[in-house]
Amino acid sequence: MLLQIKNLHVSINGKEILRGINLEVNKGEVHAIMGPNGTGKSTLANVIAGKEGYEITQGEILYNGKDIQKMPPEVRAQEGIFLGFQYPVEIPGVSMTNFMRTSLNEIRKYHGQEPIPAKEFLARMAEKKELVEITAKLTNRSVNEGFSGGEKKKNEIYQMAMLEPQLAILDETDSGLDIDALRIVANGVNKLKTSENATVVITHYQRLLDYIVPDFVHVLFEGKVVLSGGKELALELEEKGYDWIKKETEKR
Amino acid sequence: MAQDEKRLIEEVTQSEYKYGFVTDIETETAPKGLNEDTVRYISTQKNEPEWLLEHRLKAFRKWKEMEQPNWAHLKIAEIDFQDIIYYAAPKKKKELASLDEVDPELIDTFNKLGISLEEQKRLSNVAVDAVIDSVSVKTTFTDTLAKHGILFCSFSDAVKNYPDLVKKYLGMAVSPSDNFFAALNTAVFSDGSFCYIPKGVRSPMELSTYFRINAANTGQFERTLIIAEEGSYVSYMEGCTAPQRDENQLHAAIVEIIAMKDAEVKYSTVQNWYPGNKEGKGGIYNFVTKRGICKGDHSKISWTQVETGSAITWKYPSCILSGDNSVGEFYSVAVTNNYQQADTGSKMIHLGKNTKSTIISKGISAGHSNNSYRGLVKMTKRATNSRNYSQCDSLLLGDQCGAHTFPYIEGANKSSIIEHEATTSKISEDQLFYCQQRGISQESAVGLIVNGYAKEVLNKLPMEFAVEAQKLLSISLEGSVG
């Protein structure tokens, strides 16, 4: 099992956001986590990636069977966890090329590998750019600086393509995208899928799932996974709306 | 003797950039303290002509009447100018001390830099004038340069071989009574570099000088004079390293540049002298006067500096834009960490018509340090249709450090334009996390972000210098986060 989350409780400044999450992700699977705003979707993504400011009060996160709670974020990344950010930050003056090379080489170093030869690196960049239909110019610019919303999201998928993570968590990658960008992003994700990796797509809308077909859909509500099912669950959700979830939960 | 000299220069330039070495050369030193006899002693040691001794004495008498300036945003422990040895000349016999005597932390830092002088020279076609303590041991590449008629030698040699040139230009940009530290330097300067580019000559290589402060308790008073004749061009690089010392060491250098009609001089500095330890103990006191005169029309002087070292930096590389249509530039990155203090910036004095100046200053403060930009842009009445653009950015790491900006503007004519922009920013948690999520450790992330922030200035450095500067920026900020 690639990722196993057991009874995870998380608080921010003493306020409980996640209230007992259980989730199991195997290699070769695509999972979608859906739910209304403010139910803890991004919190879950950030906690898996190791962002500061979250307190795990109960439960555990196992990645490849290892408890990663004490692992610094960069080590989690080096171990193969990738987070596609909802709001990618700008880093002025640092070119995408330099950023990616630094990133790739730090990950290689962790695995005892030599830095990637320049020629190989450039070839890889060219190949992956094509995958997400990114123009050459974008990679010469500073990280996310002056990128449009769509370009930023494409850039996240591009980085995922470059780093080839084992577990990719895409946090609202579809938000703010027009249909074309959405198709490109989804295409990228689909093409990167192998039997050795897994993707967790976090989304508010069913729309993205027209392009990325999940093996499992989980509905997150008030800090808990309240419903899990196959891809048809997403359609049902789309049809009935999140109010249906609220009512279902209240019934219990 | 020539053999010995050659071996010495090899040891200095080829040893793997082990900045921490205390070269155990027996030194002939002047007695502690400063009076007219000290000045005479130095002059005699160097077999100087009478006019130079007089020049020194005049400066010394001025200095005695002056007071150490206190307008900078710096806290400086009192300096006892009578407790300093003002002259140390290496005897030609030498012996290198063992590496064990040096602080391992320092060695570690130097290993991280990992650039040998020899390698730099080979890679980049650089001529190195290695200065150990106060006397230049040897100047390299002189022959190649001589073919182009370029004079590049130690200041002492220049006094011996080209006394007329030295006499004509010494003190032209920085007069002996310019300021307290300039007067001190003029009185006691020991050696330095001299560079003369004849009319119409473009220097075929970057000229470089590596300074070292060596003997304990020896103040370092370097003197550099660069003269670019009509239509000539030179790019000059100054790099500085110093071994660790507990006592604060005083350094007061002068650099003078004279650019004639259509001449261009690029002067680049990477300064990483010992900044003191994490508690703020020790470190170099660096009081430097650097000034260039754009004497001829259409001349250009460009200062680029990366300042990461010294406990105290007091330094304002400036341009006097005397010729019409002349151009002055100042690009600076100043990093302070722990308890370092820097008060640095530039002065652009516009005298000629249609003169242009640019100031780009990037301050980075971390730890408990203080980093100030201080600048003056002056448009005189005659300097019509002139322009200045100044941009002063400050980047803060942590909340114990300080960043300050003191821009002074004087405009005496209506056709000139002065623009000033300033920003202050912090490295955000989100930026750090973004980098970490891509497998980059927090420290590497800080290095990456800081280098990005300083890129505009680093791009102005000669290529091989830029690489070293980038590493230095990261190293000097280690331990500043987390």
| Domain boundary assignment for chain A | 3-251
Q: Which residue has the tokens 């976090």?
A: A202
Could you count the other beta carbons within 10 Å of the beta carbon of residue B37? 11
Pairing of strands B347-350, B370-379: parallel
* Interchain pair A74, B439: CB under 8 A: yes
Q: Is A74 in CB contact (< 8 Å) with chain B?
A: yes
Token code pair at residue A215 = 């093996």
* Interchain pair A159, B452: CB under 8 A: no
Q: How far apart are CA B241 and CA B251, in angstroms?
A: 12
Q: Per-residue pLDDT averaged across B297-301, rounded?
A: 97
Q: How far is A20 from chain B (nearest CA, A)?
A: 25
Q: How far apart are CA A186 and CA A132, in angstroms?
A: 9
Smallest Cβ distance to B449: which of A77, A91, A107?
A: A91
Least confident stretch, A204-218, B330-344, B354-368, B372-386:
A204-218
Q: Is the pLDDT of residue B153 over 90?
A: no
* Interchain pair A74, B441: CB under 8 A: yes
Q: Which residues of B95-109 are buried (b: 16+ CB within 10 A; e: fewer)?
A: eeeeeeebeeebbeb
Where residue B338 falls (left for φ over 0; alpha for ψ -120 to 50; beta otherwise) is: left
Position B89 scores a pLDDT of 62
Q: Per-residue pLDDT averaged across A4-20, rounded?
A: 95
Collect all residues with Cβ–Cβ distance below 8 Å to A7 and sequence separation of at least 6: A20, A21, A22, A58, A59, A60
SS3 B13: helix
Phi, psi of B467 (to 5 degrees): -60, -45
What is A3-251's CATH superfamily? P-loop containing nucleotide triphosphate hydrolases (3.40.50.300)
pLDDT in tens, B31-46: 788 888 889 988 988 8
Q: Is A96 in CB contact (< 8 Å) with chain B?
A: no
Q: What is the ipTM of this complex?
A: 0.96
Position B441 scores a pLDDT of 92
Q: Exposed, middle or buried, B312 (CB in 10 Å: 0-12/13-18/19+)?
A: buried
Q: Exposed, middle or buried, A239 (CB in 10 Å: 0-12/13-18/19+)?
A: exposed
Q: Find the chain B residues whose C-beta atoms sit closer than 8 A to any C-beta of A.
A: 428-431, 433-442, 444, 448-449, 451-456
The pLDDT confidence band at residue A248, using thresholds 50, 70 and 90, is confident
A-chain residue closest to B425, CA distance = A92
Residue whose C-alpha is closest to residue B250's, from B84, B116, B400: B84
Position A47 scores a pLDDT of 97
| Domain boundary assignment for chain B | 2-476
Position B215 scores a pLDDT of 41
B-chain residue closest to A96, CA distance = B452
Q: For residue A147, which amino acid is it?
A: F
**B350 DSSP β-pair partners:** B321, B379
Q: Which residues of B391-424 are buried (b: 16+ CB within 10 A; e: fewer)?
A: ebbbbbbeeebbbbbebeeebeeeebebeeeeee
Q: How far is B330 from chain A (nearest CA, A)?
A: 19
What Cα–Cα distance (Å) separates residue A109 from each residue in A78, A97, B98, B182, B183?
9, 18, 33, 50, 53
Position A180 scores a pLDDT of 83
* Interchain pair A85, B454: CB under 8 A: no
Could you count the other beta carbons within 10 Å of the beta carbon of residue A83? 28
The pLDDT confidence band at residue B27, using thresholds 50, 70 and 90, is low
Q: Considering only CB atoms, which chain A residues are within 8 Å of B440?
A: 74, 102-103, 106
Q: Which residue has the tokens 């002067």?
A: B267
Q: How far is A168 from chain B (nearest CA, A)?
A: 11
Token code pair at residue B440 = 């980059």
Token code pair at residue A129 = 């750019």
Question: What angle, 0 to 180 degrees and rounded to 10, lies between the N-to-C axes of helices A96-110 and A149-163?
Answer: 30
Q: Which residues of B433-460 are buried (b: 16+ CB within 10 A; e: fewer)?
A: bbbbbbbbbbbbbbbbbbbbbbbbbbeb
Token code pair at residue B287 = 């009081």
Size of interface A-B (CB pairs under 8 A): 73
Q: How far apart are CA A91 and CA A97, in angstroms?
A: 13
The residue with greater pLDDT, B476 or B130, is: B476
Token code pair at residue B143 = 């022959």
A-chain residue closest to B456, CA distance = A93
The pLDDT confidence band at residue B245, using thresholds 50, 70 and 90, is low
pLDDT in tens, B97-112: 344 444 444 445 444 5
Position B210 scores a pLDDT of 52
Q: Is the pLDDT of residue B241 over 60?
A: no
Residue among B433, B438, B450 with most chain A CBs within 10 A, to mutate: B438
Q: Is the pLDDT of residue A240 over 80?
A: yes
Q: How far is B382 from chain A (nearest CA, A)?
A: 39
Q: How far is A244 from chain B (nearest CA, A)?
A: 35
* Interchain pair B439, A93: CB under 8 A: no
Q: How far apart are CA B137 and CA B19, in angstroms?
A: 17
Position A239 scores a pLDDT of 83
pLDDT in tens, B256-284: 999 999 999 999 988 888 888 888 888 88
Q: Is the pLDDT of residue B481 over 80?
A: no
Residue among B333, B428, B436 with most chain A CBs within 10 A, to mutate: B436
Q: Is A73 in CB contact (< 8 Å) with chain B?
A: yes
Position A206 scores a pLDDT of 81
Q: How far is B476 from chain A (nearest CA, A)?
A: 19
Q: Is the pLDDT of residue B182 over 50?
A: yes
Contact A121, A107 (CB under 8 A): no
B-chain residue closest to A45, CA distance = B437
Q: Per-residue pLDDT averaged across B225-234, rounded?
A: 97
Q: How far apart are CA B132 and CA B25, in angstroms?
A: 10
The residue with greater pLDDT, B103 or B314, is: B314
Position B275 scores a pLDDT of 83
The residue with greater pLDDT, B350 or B473, is: B350
Position B470 scores a pLDDT of 81
Phi, psi of A108 (to 5 degrees): -65, -40
Least confident stretch, B270-284, B378-392, B423-437:
B270-284
Pairing of strands B264-271, B300-307: parallel
Q: Is A142 in CB contact (< 8 Å) with chain B?
A: yes
Contact B90, B133 (CB under 8 A): yes
Q: Is the pLDDT of residue B136 over 90?
A: no
Position B209 scores a pLDDT of 64
Position B478 scores a pLDDT of 73
Q: How far is B435 from chain A (nearest CA, A)?
A: 8
Contact B199, B168 (CB under 8 A): no
Q: For residue B476, which amino acid is it?
A: S
Q: Is the pLDDT of residue B426 over 60?
A: yes
The pLDDT confidence band at residue B204, using thresholds 50, 70 and 90, is confident
Q: Is A93 in CB contact (< 8 Å) with chain B?
A: yes
Q: Per-residue pLDDT averaged across A124-136, rounded?
A: 86
pLDDT in tens, A80-102: 999 999 999 999 999 999 999 99
Question: In terms of residues, how long is chain A?
Answer: 252
Q: How far apart are CA B148 and CA B195, in angstroms?
A: 13
Q: Is the pLDDT of residue B217 over 90?
A: no
Q: How far apart are CA A4 and CA A24, in angstroms?
A: 5
Q: For residue B133, which amino acid is it?
A: D
Q: Which residue has the tokens 């590389």?
A: B317
Smallest Cβ distance to B453: which of A93, A104, A159?
A: A93
Token code pair at residue B397 = 């790491």
* Interchain pair B456, A110: CB under 8 A: no
Q: Is the pLDDT of residue A38 over 50?
A: yes
Token code pair at residue A136 = 């050459």
The pLDDT confidence band at residue B13, using thresholds 50, 70 and 90, is very low
* Interchain pair B449, A88: CB under 8 A: no
Token code pair at residue A130 = 């094509």
